[in-house]
Amino acid sequence: MKDRRADKSMALHESEAIILQSYSLGEADRLVSFLSRAAGRMRGVAAGARKPRSKFGSTLERLSYVRIWYFENPTRELVRIRQCEMIESFLGAFGEYASSVALSILSEVSQAVLPDREASDANFRLLLLTAQTVKRTGKADLPLAYFALWTVKLGGWLAPLDRCGFCGAALAANSAAYVARGGSAVACGKCRRGGMRAISPAALALARQMLAERLDKLPDSVDAAGIRAAREVIAIMLDIIEQQIDRKLTSRELLEPTA
């Protein structure tokens, strides 16, 4: 009876969602961070979720794509999660090391970058598409490069990749360019300044291709040169993300080296 009275005092919401992280809370509950398609990044309590026969089952595992029902009280930070129904699980993809690291980075970056309760269908679709591609292909480098690049793009932190941000000259396809700290500008060789990081022609070309095509339209597999280019894009974009959030990404330490 107590729960019913509480339910009447709060609004019940329903939305597609992606679970970003789940933490133990007390003896039987879970504190859940999730990305709602309708309402943005939120946190809530799933009462009894740690009990052996919990109604939540595996729906609160990281990156689970679910339909979620939750109660919201405008005066409280945390919502109360009533129910989840699984749409797609990514639990199996966490069993392979490279995929697991990539999926962990997707989760950590989304949690760090996206603001509370600010809906972004573009970020939701990006996260879901990238996770689905990692799961489907078992490949991590290309999807992670795409995700990192588009996260920077959607965040408004990506400088134009077709011209020098200082002199305005077009960046030649066969010449290296240089990225400023925090991604505020891309420079040609003549305008290169101290502290800038080089980006190879191959990585620059890949980044341009990724901005022009959907991830599911790109090839599932690439050769060794393509993997190096993808890892270079990952490194540069994660540097920009870390600059913007002002901290290191814990899961990034598990990535294989670029070289």
Q: What's the mean pLDDT in 38-61? A: 95
pLDDT tens, 189-198? 999 998 899 9
Structure tokens that stand for 255 in this block = 């990535």
166-176 tens-digit pLDDT: 999 999 888 88
* Helix H or strand E segment including 100: helix 97-113
Q: Are strands 79-88 and 40-46 parallel, antiparallel or unpaired?
A: parallel
Q: How many Cβ atoms sit within 10 Å of the Cβ of residue 57?
A: 14
Decide which of 3.40.50.11540, 2.40.50.140, 3.30.750.24, 1.10.1270.20 is the CATH code for 2-88.
Answer: 2.40.50.140
Cα–Cα distance measured from residue 222 to residue 235, given in angstroms and rounded to the nearest whole number: 18
pLDDT at 7 over 80: no
The dihedral through the CA atoms of 162, 168, 171, 172 has a sign that is positive
pLDDT at 44: 97
CATH 2.40.50.140 domain position(s) in the chain = 2-88
Helix (H) or strand (E) holding 177: strand 177-179
Least Cα distance to 101 among 151, 62, 128 occurs for: 62
Residue 178 near residue 197 (C-beta atoms within 8 A):
yes
Q: Considering the entire predicted model, what is its pTM? A: 0.93
Do residues 233 and 258 lie in contact, with contact meaning Cβ atoms separated by under 8 Å? no
* 248 pLDDT higher than 50: yes
Are 114 and 41 a contacting pair, CB within 8 Å? yes
Encode pLDDT of 148-170 as tens digits: 999 999 999 999 999 999 999 99
Q: Which residues contact 83 (CB under 8 A, 6 or more apart)?
A: 55, 56, 68, 69
Residues contacting residue 189 through CB under 8 Å, at least 6 positions apart: 175, 176, 177, 178
Question: Which 3-state string (H, E, C) describes 46-71?
Answer: ECCCCCCCCCCCCCCCCCCEEEEEEE
**How far apart (Å, rounded) are the C-alpha atoms in residues 30 and 60?**
9
| Residues 85 and 109: beta-carbon distance below 8 Å | no
**pLDDT tens digits for 87-138?**
999 999 999 999 999 999 999 999 999 999 999 999 999 999 999 999 999 9
